[in-house]
Structure 1
């Protein structure tokens, strides 16, 4: 699922290409800058992908994926979080829980929550931390994240506490 950043870069490139066609002398420089940004984002993934290919084992890339998930931006960060959601183990799951506790609403909702949910029953020891993390968001954000959190509880084979239940749609 492409994120808002991906759509923003794509929209910038398109609008700048149109501006260049219309004669804006700086537009082509902006297009080149945006394309360099895309190339840099994808270049950050290369070491992790090389490690996976070298070893044949995705878990071998966990340290690089954790670094990307914590410090990269845009596509490399999203790809690293998605990959960590598919690699079983305490280290990848703890990184995801830490990210859920410290990331903004959009990233937690769209990327980190689904990656955590993919860990299924292994999430059980972290359920209370995740529940506390939701409390720092605004009420509308909490409602949306509560839905994701309920799915995580379900994947862990547990029933979410009633405090996490999202309010009915009419109360938003």
Structure 2
């Protein structure tokens, strides 16, 4: 080949390719995304296990929770029909345009260790004004043990809750 032909090949103006800056940005972006995926995966593996009843995972204990509730004239009555003690109750109140979550332990009559199986709770002194709400769901909170022997609370999924209104 002649020298001029070789120069024509290497001096083309319509070269198509990725600039080094764009390639570097794409490479850094892929590394960051990969690092996030690994972080989330490792975090899920290292999540602390909370157990209840002879080492049973507390998430499985939520299946055994069965509550019945009644709301009338500002008084809430909750009965634990299951065989798992309920340490606390979270109340998700949905009103027009907003949603709030309250923990029902503000009442001094709430039992210190929750509601045992077969027991009930009535909020006689703690008036709840939820009559104008569109939806009220009671979500059980259980108390379990961590691997190092400490007590820790666990909020069950809302599917285990009881719809009051």
| TM-score of the pair, normalised by structure 1 | 0.29
Higher relative contact order (CA 8 A, sep 6+): 2
User: Higher strand proportion, which one?
Assistant: 2
Q: Give the TM-score, by structure 2 length.
A: 0.30
